[in-house]
Amino acid sequence: MVTDEAGRTGSTAGTTGTTGTVRTGGTATGTAARPTTAEIAAPAAARPGRRDREADLQPGRFPDLSWGEADLAASLEAVYHWVEDEAIRAAAWYIHEKKWKARWSRALRILAILLATAGAAIPFVAANDDSIGFEWGYVFLACAAGAVAMDRFFGFSSAWMRYMTAELAIQQKLQQLQFAWTSMLITRGNRLPSAHEVAAELEKLAGAAAAIGEEIRLETLAWAEEFQSNIGELRSLAGRHDS
């Protein structure tokens, strides 16, 4: 389990998330309107009645359901919605977190461009104006390099790209899950599923949850490798200065 720079706790596949609304008892009923990824990622002020966005992508409990013959359909539906909610919540987390990473990345890159441009222009201005020392060009160029290094070592741009990639991958897995579930409902019609059919669908849902968890694991692993690489570069630079 690895905690990244945004406070997220990565976990093994299929175990992350919170427990959504559990539907139990009787046969499956109609599905109520469910929040979209964009709605979950929206600011809390725009979503009355919702808690503030969670700081960590933490693991949650699997729903405690009844698997008696009369409850099979409702319990299977509850598990599906739990997996769906996990995917929506994970995608929404990445959507929210990538925003401030993108802001820092753009700000530092723009600052670097402005400083580098000023640093390159100052010697030409100093050649025609004795009140401006050409040495300031080096100062501006050094500050531009510092802005790029800050983005590099704090990982704003790389995290932005990782979060976008992970969010798109989770969205794809979510759509595959939703279409597969809808196809199953159409095929089943109004009849109640057998225990064998429910077990088969649970295996598919477990596979979908594992695939979503795997995307989170891969993104967290990429962050850990990048973090170790940056630490190694800093130690190398510190060693050069000491020598």
> Which percentage of the chain shows pLDDT scores above 70?
74
Q: Helices (DSSP H) in 129-194: which residue ranges?
A: 135-154, 156-188
Mean pLDDT of 107-127: 91
SS (H, E, C) 203-240: HHHHHHHHHHHHHHHHHHHHHHHHHHHHHHHHHHHHHH
Question: Is the model's pLDDT at 45 over the cut of 50?
Answer: no
What is the span of the domain harbouring residue 149?
77-237
pLDDT of residue 87: 93
Q: What is the pTM of this model?
A: 0.67
Is residue 49 situated within a structural domain?
Answer: no
Mean pLDDT of 13-20: 38
Is residue 83 situated within a structural domain?
Answer: yes
Quote the CA–CA distance of 111 and 96 in Å, as a whole number.
24
Is residue 10 situated within a structural domain?
Answer: no
Q: Are the C-beta atoms of residues 36 and 85 closer than 8 Å to each other?
A: no
Is residue 68 situated within a structural domain?
Answer: no
pLDDT band of 197, cuts 50, 70, 90: very high
Quote the CA–CA distance of 129 and 126 in Å, as a whole number.
5
Q: Are the C-beta atoms of residues 90 and 57 closer than 8 Å to each other?
A: yes
Is residue 225 situated within a structural domain?
Answer: yes
pLDDT of residue 125: 86
Residue 60 vs residue 7, higher pLDDT: 60
pLDDT band of 134, cuts 50, 70, 90: confident
Question: Is the model's pLDDT at 48 over the cut of 70?
Answer: no
**Amino acid at site 142:** A
Q: What is the mean pLDDT of the chain?
A: 79
pLDDT of residue 132: 81
Question: Is the model's pLDDT at 42 over the cut of 50?
Answer: no
Quickly count: other Cβ atoms within 10 Å of residue 199's Cβ.
13
Mean pLDDT of 93-121: 92
**Amino acid at site 86:** E
pLDDT of residue 241: 58
Is residue 189 situated within a structural domain?
Answer: yes
Is residue 197 situated within a structural domain?
Answer: yes
Residue 135 vs residue 235, higher pLDDT: 135
Quote the CA–CA distance of 171 and 168 in Å, as a whole number.
5
- The tally of domains found in the chain comes to 1
**Amino acid at site 222:** A
Please give the distance of CA 104 from its chain centroid, rounded to a whole number: 17
Is residue 70 situated within a structural domain?
Answer: no
pLDDT of residue 225: 87
pLDDT in tens, 57-98: 777 688 889 998 889 999 999 999 999 999 999 999 999 989
Burial 9-31 (b: 16+ CB within 10 A, else e): bbbebbebbeebeebeeeebeee
